[in-house]
Structure formats: structure tokens, C-alpha cells
Structure 1
Amino acid sequence: MTASEALTADPDGDRVRAVVTGIGVVAPSGIGVDAHWRTVTGGIRRTGPITLFDPTGYPTRVGGEVPDFHPAAYVDTRQLVQTDRWTQLGFAATALALADAGLPDRAPDPYAWAVILASSSGGNLFGQRELQRLWGGSSRTVGAYQSIAWFYAASVGQLSIHHQFKGPSGVLAAEAAGGLDSLAHAVRTIRRGTSVVIAGATECPLSPYALACQLRSGLLSDIDEPAAAYRPFDRAAGGYVPAEGGAVFVVEERGHALARGARIYGEVTGWAATHDAVHTGPDTAGDPAMYARAMRLALERSGSTADEVDMVVPDALGVPRYDRSEATALRAVFGDRPPPVSTHKSLTGRAHQGGSALDAATALLALHHDTLPASAGPTDPAPGCELGFLRAPRQPRHRVALVCARGFDGFNSAVVLRGAPPAPRSAPD
């Protein structure tokens, strides 16, 4: 039995299961899975001064930008003028995911392929430019594509057209939680008969308008030193650093993947979403009970126990009251000795829904490489945040990871990922 067959052997009979066969990363950590993995395992900080616009005069001037991103390498001239950078990042991540999965750029059976991505703020840079032209230019007009480029479903629409994904497609809006929700909806879509689903998310919240909107929350860091600006769960935590980018996945029906001999990263075995159902105010920090419920339900639906979880990848907002609330939720699920916790958002910044998708990519790569990466902090855990942060890499025992995310205004999501068996290690010469 091959590693892929061992992963997908179904003890429950003929229940349809979904596996991840491709990952496309376009993030501050780099372009492609190899660049991202080097950043994570090397603990390399990729945040720095915002350059996409002049942030002088804003209290937050540090962000996470995708390095050396050239949209023309992934998007043709016609699409370039129709789309925002956020969608262009999505084009790049999708192309990389398809190539990583060994699938063609165009769906050979369009109605058997779909795309379900998450979104939150849409095409900010495009909208900013057009509105400035409307109110500041002599023509007092906007371009024809303003009506579609800013729209939160623009990336799904453009990818569906370009790649001929004509199956049941959609877009999810749950802020950072959406990156995980997209994986859950991809599995549901697979179980309803679709062979291949593109899932995940990208984001580009780095524009004057987008930054101003985020600043209203009071949750952003105002520290100019990148190494100190974003420190989740640390005594010195003072807010998050905004970032662009994210990750896109090829989620595939297991029989379809096995029939073509695909390499399998892992399987989405359980998921859950809850909502706090209360108003989010300036002093609130999310409901740890509802957050914990999402984690428990995800584990229950996956058929995994808390003892089997090798690693938790948390939301890691970097705001003290939210960090304590998340730690409280984790202790409610796992007791006083939670499994190793590893977060790398301080290296890249928080890319909203793209950030939770990137966390899922990190977890899948960790299981694929048979290495749980050390957490990028905290250096000095804050009171109430004393979790089992992974201080050195180690091998997973059960090949199970729990990825958690919260979206502003009460969204909570959790996904359980089970890695494929590792490839046999080569014997030394």
C-alpha cells in the first residue's frame, strides 16, 4: 500500500473524502511553498516599512508585503487592467497550486471543477485609485472596471472565467475565519460530487483607505521597529501588523487524486464554525466558550481526540485581551497541558482571511516534511498566555494538526488536518 493509499483508506466504508494535492503560497514569506517553508523554519522576519503607498502620517507604518511580486508573470494585459492587486495575488497563488498538484491550467471537465475562496475587504488599491480620480481628477469619472474590481467576489469570478471552473463556486465573508471556512466548504462540495475545488484566500489591505478602516478598530500596532511591532501572546504585545497575500489549495476527491497518482499533502478531516452572537465593542475580546466549541466540534467531526493533536496553529492576533481569550479557549479544550502551539504570524504580519489560509498551508507543509516548526515567539509569554509554545522543531507523532482562526465581529473557525504518511527516510551512505 502506498502512502497515499494508506492516508485515504476509509475504515467507514464508501464515505467520500477530500485531500489536498496542491498548495500555492504568495505571501510576505515568499512566492511558492519552498520559500514559505524556509521562512517558517528559519524564523526569518519578513515584515518591514510599507512601500505600496506612503504611510507617513499614519500611526501604523509597518506591514507585510509580498517580495518581488510581478503581476504580469501571472496575469495577462487584459486582466491586469481589470483587476486589483488582491485578485492578481489570487491568480498567482492558484497557478502555483495547480502546478504543484500537477493539474492543467484549464479545467478539462469544467463542471467538475469549482473555486471557493474567502474574502473580506475586496479590491482596495483599485478602488482607492478610481475614487481619487473621481473626486480629484479633471474628468470626474471612474474606469469601467471599478464596478467589478473592488467587489469582494471579484477573485472567484475572474479565476472561474480564466481557468474554466464552472462547478458550484462561491465566496465566503468571515474575515480571518474565512480562510478556514473555504476549506470546509471545499470538502462539502467534493462530497456533493465535484472532483476538484480551489480553496483558500489572498488579501491586500495595504492602501490608505484600507489602513484607515483597520485603524478604527484600535487593534493595529503603532511600533515602527519590525522586530517589536507584532508579538502575539507576549508581554510586549501591542497589536497586529497588516499584511497582504495568502495561500490557495487544490482540494481533490481522493479517488480522483489516486487515479492520477497525485502526491497528497494531507486530508481535511474535520471542521467547525461558531459565532459569538454579541456586539463587538472596543473592550471585547471574543467569546472563548464559542471559540472552544468550534475547536471541540472540529475534533469530534474529524474522529480525532485532543491527545492526538500534534500541533495547534492559533489565530495569534497580538492584542493582549484577545490573546488571553484565545489561550483560555485552548485550555478549555485541552486542559492545563495543551499540545505544542506554533505561530508564525509575527514573521509575516496578519493577512486577514489570507493569513488563516497561510496557517493551514504551514500545518500541511509541517506534516509533509515530518517536522513541526518552532514557534516564532513569544519571547516572554504574557500572564494568562502560558501555552506550550514549540521552542524547537520536532517530529509529529499522530500527524494531526488543529488550525484555528477568529474573524472580527464574532466569527470562530477550526480545521483539523491529517497528514499523509511521510516518505521513507533515505538510509545514510
Structure 2
Amino acid sequence: MTRAVVTGLGVLSPNGLGVEQYWAATLKGVTGIAPITRFDPAGYPSRLAGEVDGFDAGEHLPSRLLPQTDHMTRMALVASDWALADAGVDPAEQAEFGMGVVTASASGGFEFGQRELENLWRRGSRHVSAYQSFAWFYAVNTGQISIRHGMRGPSGVLVSEQAGGLDAIAQARRHLRRDTDLVLTGGVDSSLCPWGLVAQLPSGRLSTSADPDAAYLPFDRRAAGHVPGEGGAILVLERAGARPGQRPYGEVAGWGAGLDPAPGSDRPSALRRTAEAALADAGVDAADVDVVFADAAGTPELDAAEVAALVEVFGAGRVPVTAPKTMTGRLYSGGAPLDVVAALLSIRDGVIPPSVNTAGTAADGLDLVLDTPRPAALRTALVLARGFGGFNSAVVVRAAD
């Protein structure tokens, strides 16, 4: 069986640009959640977000790309550049049909789309950019990355909200098993504009707290929603041994997915069987898992369902559980790939990052890692993600031998 290994990482996060900056901030418990600065949020019930600070696309990308791309796509392009550099891959030296791109998206280029719609309403159709035809599209990151790097192999986009980042990684692994050598995968999202925020509010899951330290409290009795964020991670996934000089962070060993029953049903969440499917796909037992990176929805009912699923799969308190996304907010399609990065770095460095702010008072049965990092010998990690609409996904990553 072809083994899929992660050889490069590219990260843009609300608490750090680049892998090592993100990781250092995460281990220190540094949060990127703060009042929204991209626009005036005074008229909205939710006014906090995890914004990527200090990112200037003009420092990293050719000027010709800037007019045709949304903020989200610019971040995805830079994350891809960084991931390839980290892997030591020059796409010009690879077979163009041997490289693919599979990303996830929850929204598309909302900020670009809002600006062009405003031009249409206020100034007329002659003032709408021709790039509007694709810059808003949910598949645009995959398209722009593949064009930039000449990647003409199997490509695609997964749309399953927060779960989509893990589904994209799983699809990339499928392509490797069909003889593609390398796939760029993961997700980068951003919909922090008035249009994007209004689209999120009807879910009823956004926190309305004005306190950055008390707005996103998964597994806490005070939990009342999540904080939206932007950014994410792009990973280089390769067939193990396909390229000389590979330095794998780890292996994507298993994946599972499921869909929750319709609201009001008395059937349980699909999260338990999703996690069990990922473990079975990886050929590991629950006892082999050293750490779980939780979805951590931040609403009482969803948190309770996750606690129940984890206790059913692992037993009470047997495996450490963490949610570093408490420092970034939920990044939608970018959130789970960022958790995969954190899991791989945890295995590399022998340390579990903390969950901050939350007191864990609604986590009975979980060994929740709070406040400070926990040293631990780690080999296998389970990453969970759930998306609005009932999507569930789980990925097992482990050390590369």
C-alpha cells in the first residue's frame, strides 16, 4: 500500500506567519483573537475574529496577481510557496502531470465579491472587474495554485465547511495511491468582510462576547459559540520514497467521514463512527492514539456530543485532548489542516499544545490539556473536524518511520 507522507508545511494563522512562528506562539498560548479591524463591526452582534496580522501579499507575490485575487487566495498562494520551499521541492523540476492540487473551501473570495458588487451597485457594470468571474469562486485556490506552479495532475476542491480540510487531505492521499507523485493540499479560508460575516450569523453559532478571552470557550459551561477566523495551512503530500531527499514530518495514515442525522432526530452524531473509521483505516486501535485534536465547536450541545463520542471511543480520561484553535478561532476549511500541522509538530517535538481560556468545566471524561503545554512521547494523533450541515471527518497522523 502506498504511504502518504507530509514533507512540507505552509502556515498563515491569526497567531503566527510561517510554521515556526505559529508553533512558538501556540506553545506559549498566544491568542490571535481580537476585535475585527478589516471593517467597522459596530453594527454586528459578533465583533471579534482571528485575523491574520502582518501579512502583506505584495511582499510575496508578483504584482500581476494582486488585482485578480481575493485576500484568501493570496494567503493560499503564499502558504503553497512556503510549503514547497519547506519540502525542498522545485515544481519546475517535477513532471507537471505528476503533481496535483486538492484544497478545501467554505466560502470562496467573499471580500473580492463584495467589493465588485458594491462597484456594480454604486458605479455600474463597466466598473466591475473581469476577475470577478472567478475570484469569488470556491475552487479558485486550487486553480490559482495549480497555474502558479504548473501542476497539471489530478486536482479538485472539497466543500464540507470545517470538515473540508481533512476531506481534502484524504482526497490527496487517494491521488497518491493512483500514482500521482505529489499533491498540494489543505485549506485557507477568509470571509471576514460584512458579506461574509452576515453569511455566518444565521448559523446561530457565533459568539457575541466582546471579551477576546471569554468569547470562544469549548468544553466550558460558559460556552456560547465560536469566534470566526481566517488563514489555515497547505501541506505537501508525497508518496513515501518517490523523491530523493524527502524529510517527512509524518504519515497520513487513516481517514474517516460521516454525516450527522437530520436535526431533531433521536439518532446519535456520526462523530464516533467517523473516528472509529479513521482508526480502522490506519490499522490502529484506540489504545494506540497518544493525543486527540478536538473539533471543539464551542456550543454546549455540540461539545457534549464530542465528549460523549471521545469517551465511547477511548474511555474516560485515557487520551489527552487538546484544542489549539482556541487561540485562532475556527478557520473553517483552514482550521483542520492547521490542526494537522499542530499534530505533526507535536509528534516531532514531543509536546502537546494547550487549550487556552476554557476552564474545561463541561469536559467530564476528557483529559483536556489546559493553559500550558504538556511534554509527552507521541507517535499517533487523531484530528477531528465537524462542519455546519452535519459533516464529520477524522484523520490519523503518525510518525514516519
TM-score (normalised: structure 2): 0.96
2:149 match: 163
1:77 Cα offset (Å): 1.6
Alignment partner of 1:352 is 2:336: no
1:389 aligns with 2:373: no
Deviation at 1:40, TM superposition (A): 1.2
One of 329, 341, 346 as aligned partner of 2:321: 341
Return the match for 1:266 from 229, 241, 250.
250
Aligned residues: 400
Equivalent residue, structure 2, for 1:194: 180
Partners of 2:268 and 2:275 in 1: CA distance: 11
Residues 5 and 400 in structure 2, CA contact (< 8 A), matched pair in contact too: no
Contact preservation (8 Å) 1:233, 1:381: yes
Check 1:139–1:189 CA distance in 2 against 1; reply closer, same or farther (3 A cut).
closer
3-state DSSP of counterpart to 1:181: helix
Corresponding residue of 2:285: 305
Percent of aligned pairs sharing the same letter? 47
Aligned to 2:136: 150
- The one-letter amino acid paired with 2:204 is G
Distance 1:414 1:310 in 2: 15
Structure 2 unaligned blocks of 5 or more: none
Q: Which residue does the alignment assign to 2:260?
A: 276
1:205 equivalent in structure 2: 191
Please say if 1:329 is aligned against 2:309. Answer: yes
**Distance change in 2, residues 1:139/1:297 (3 Å):** closer
**Does structure 1 residue 21 correspond to structure 2 residue 1?**
no
Distance 2:301 2:130 in 1: 44
Give the C-alpha shift of residue 138 in structure 1.
5.1
Q: CA deviation at 1:143?
A: 1.1
Say if 1:385 and 1:353 are closer, same or farther in 2 by CA, change over 3 A.
farther
- In the alignment, which residue of structure 1 is the partner of 2:98? 112
Compare 98-107 and 142-151 and name the one that shifted more: 98-107
Counterpart Cα distance in 1 of 2:373 and 2:211: 27
- The amino acid across from 1:220 in the alignment is L
Q: Distance in 2 between matches of 1:255 and 1:65?
A: 38
Note the 1:404-419 alignment, pairs <5 A. 404-419=384-399
Separation in 1, partners of 2:252, 2:379: 12
Mapped partners of 2:391, 2:364: distance in 1 = 21
| Greater displacement, 73-82 / 307-316 | 73-82
Counterparts of 1:6-405 in structure 2, within 5 Å, are 15-106=1-92, 108-137=94-123, 141-257=127-243, 260-278=244-262, 280=263, 288-382=268-362, 385-391=364-370, 392-397=372-377, 399-405=379-385
Return the offset for 1:200.
Answer: 0.3
Offset, 1:368: 1.2
Listed as ranges, the matches of 1:414-429 within 5 Å are 414-420=394-400
Whether contact under 8 Å (1:308, 1:398) holds in the other structure is no
Q: TM-score, normalised by structure 1?
A: 0.90
> Hey, what's the Cα distance between the residues in 2 that align with 1:36 and 1:288?
36
Matched to 1:26, the amino acid is L
Superposed displacement of residue 309, structure 1: 0.7
- Kept in 1, the 8 Å contact 2:261–2:270? The answer is no
Q: Equivalents in 2 of 1:417, 1:20: separation in Å? A: 9
Describe the shift of the 1:134–1:105 C-alpha distance in structure 2 as closer, same or farther (beyond 3 A).
same
CA distance in 2, matches of 1:30, 1:398: 24
Q: Secondary structure at the match of 1:350?
A: coil
Residue by residue, what CA displacement relative to the aligned partner does 1:237-278 show, whole Å, maximum 9, x if unpaired?
111111000000000110114xx2221100001001111242
- The alpha carbon displacement at 1:141 in A equals 4.3
Structure 2 contact 347–378 (Cα < 8 Å) conserved: no
Deviation at 1:310, TM superposition (A): 0.7
Any unmatched runs of 5+ in structure 1? 1-14, 422-429
Runs (4+) off by over 6 Å: none
Asked if structure 2 preserves the Cα contact closer than 8 Å seen for 1:343 and 1:377, the reply is: no
Checking the alignment, whether the CA contact within 8 Å between 2:350 and 2:378 is kept in structure 1 is no
